[in-house]
Structure 1
């Protein structure tokens, strides 16, 4: 994975944005010590953690009406 400085990232922002849109990832480093401060990757690569019901798991049931118009995916991501 490529590492770029803040200055380079700033001056070539469009170039790096196009790289990300093509699926590439890169790290942005800051300061003289080049401390790694950010990771840029395509949004599609983002993995969302599964939501847990928590302390009510196994204790609660939900009944949804037959005329419910929201899909399960829309409900979970709301």
Structure 2
């Protein structure tokens, strides 16, 4: 984890875009008032996308040709190999 940088509230107010650029790079910023920490600005962790569970796509794909997965006949194989298919 990167070191924390401490800035005053007045400086943070005047330089907020610069602070946000540093936070985007992974830096953690502590804002203080009268030498007492009052706030922390830190990068947000990206939420992880849940992995799809096996079998959840059932019924979402529709085959137009009911014979799409039937084995090829010898004539179809010959035509495919000769480039006529």
TM normalised by structure 2 equals 0.48
CA positional deviation for 1:10 = 0.4
1:18 aligned residue (15, 18, 21)? 21
Instruction: Tell me which residue corresponds to 1:39.
Output: 40
Q: What's the RMSD between the two structures over aligned residues?
A: 2.2
Instruction: Tell me which residue corresponds to 1:4.
Output: 7
TM normalised by structure 1 equals 0.52
Q: Could you say which structure has the higher helix fraction?
A: 1
In structure 1, runs of 5+ residues without a counterpart are: 46-65, 67-78
CA positional deviation for 1:19 = 0.5
Q: What is the aligned residue count?
A: 46
Runs of 4+ in 1 over 6 A off after TM superposition: none
Matched residues in 2 for 1:42 and 1:15: separation? 14
Between structure 1 and structure 2, the one with the greater Rg is: 2
